[in-house]
Amino acid sequence: MRKRLSTFISLLLVMSLMFTLASCKDKEKKNDAIKEAITETLDTYFKHLSQNKISKLAKCVHQESYFEEDEYKDLSDILDKYFSRIEYEIVEISPNSAKPKNATAAIELTRIDISKATDSFISALDESSITSGDAKKEILEIISDKKVKTVSDELTIKFYEDEEGWQLLDDSKIYDFLMSDIIDLDTAISGLSETTVPPTTESTTEPTTETTKETTATEAPSSSSEESSVSDVTTSDEPTTTTNDDPDESLPETKPHPGLVKKHIVDMETAMKILKDRGYEIDTESDMDEDGFFTESNDKDFFVMYIQCPDSETLQEDYISELDDLIFGDLYMHMGKVTDQWDKNTHNIYSENNAAYNGSSVDLYVYYDEDALAIVGIEQLPQADPSEDFYIIIEELGLWDFGISID
């Protein structure tokens, strides 16, 4: 049994803890290439937009651009100046290794705030005290003022890779943020007379230097999606499927689902102290800001593994995506009578009379949350009971509540 346990542990350690070491460099190069391509697309997109070359935006957008070339042709001189003062900064680009054709980019977008000027035009329209020529002249002066108030917001833009390369999936959020005031301005100016009307009141707008952050009040078109984490992209070329290629209903659901409760496992440093205080030798390993440890029980019949990642994306890409295949593939959990249960976010998977391990049973406790993965496992001969220490360690680590009173 000891020989089989050694093989069992080696498979788990190599396939999980060492997975990052084997793939980190290739993944890093691929992600760098994606980030470079998306940066280039954003640069091109905003270059065309800043020059009011709306027709060229189509090359940067996978779906049809929300900007239409002749939509506000009466405001072309205003848009030339308005678009030229758009500023953007890339905050973060996030490739999605689980969906290789998908990515997101968070950008900080800044525009001129013309909302107060628009409000004054609407008031003047009601009082018939301003002409469209005067309105355009005044708004151009406001836009040209280097001290004019600006508005900034952080937008998350979805990207999709097709035969043309990496493109914005759509630009609805950019359109909504930039054009909310322009739509109101167009409505106000279009209602004004081209001939001079003697003003009954004097209306002036004082631009300020204050910079504020606000959200757009304009509703996105019906096809615009809400801002969220990366999800599947559905296009006519890439239909989304929700079924597994080879489903097997005899197997339990094996993907732990974090988020049911707040994190309940102890942190890695505390976990190491608990094990060391009980006489366990800890083997640690670190790579690319990821830390982990592995230990076997004193009598070599069960193991504890803990991995701490810098963020949820790293954990998902490097480990969680491999977890199913690890448990029901290389560890052959499916070759026994499988039962499972949950306690909080910990998934207990028990494979009884496992043919791959000469009739032994394999008992796994699998937990992960935003940035930590912990697995405790034991292989035991038929009718053999785990040691008391096995259950005590699991409870002390916070994986499971057996109701054990620990002195």
Q: What is the mean pLDDT of the chain?
A: 74
Domain boundary among 213, 238, 261: 213
Give phi and psi for 281, each to the nearest 5: -90, 130
What is the per-residue pLDDT across 349-363, written as a single tens digit (0 to 9) for each? 898 888 877 788 889
Query: Is residue 187 a part of any domain in this protein?
Result: yes
198 and 86 assigned to the same domain: yes
Query: Is residue 231 a part of any domain in this protein?
Result: no
Query: Is residue 233 a part of any domain in this protein?
Result: no
Both structure tokens of 50: 């800043």
Q: Residue 346 in 3-state DSSP?
A: strand
Query: Is residue 407 a part of any domain in this protein?
Result: no
Q: CA 289 to CA 78: how far, in whole Å?
A: 49
pLDDT value, residue 1? 30
What is the per-residue pLDDT across 252-277, written as a single tens digit (0 to 9) for each? 454 555 667 778 899 999 999 999 99
Query: Is residue 69 a part of any domain in this protein?
Result: yes
Query: Is residue 67 a part of any domain in this protein?
Result: yes
Residue 204 has pLDDT above 60, yes or no: no
204 and 318 assigned to the same domain: no
158 and 278 assigned to the same domain: no
Lowest-confidence pick of 111-125, 171-185, 335-349: 111-125
Other C-beta atoms lying within 10 Å of the C-beta of residue 119: 15
Query: Is residue 218 a part of any domain in this protein?
Result: no
From residue 147, how far is each of 44, 47, 104, 224, 307 by CA, in Å? 27, 23, 33, 33, 51
Q: State the average pLDDT over residues 100-119.
A: 85
User: By C-alpha distance, which of 14, 11, 24, 17 is closest to 306?
Assistant: 17
CA dihedral 24, 27, 33, 36 (to 10 degrees): -70
82 and 163 assigned to the same domain: yes
pLDDT band at 59 (very low <50, low <70, confident <90, very high): very high
- Give the residue numbers spanning the domain of 357: 2-26+249-396
pTM of the complete model: 0.45
Q: State the average pLDDT over residues 42-70.
A: 93
Following DSSP, what letter does each residue of 1-32 receive, concatenated? -HHHHHHHHHHHIIIIITHHHHHHHHHHHHHH
Taking every pair of Cα atoms in the chain, the longest distance, rounded to a whole number of angstroms, is: 100
Number of domains in the chain: 2
Domain boundary among 164, 190, 213: 213
Query: Is residue 283 a part of any domain in this protein?
Result: yes
Strand ordering across the sheet containing 337-343: 283-287, 290-296, 302-308, 372-380, 360-368, 346-354, 337-343
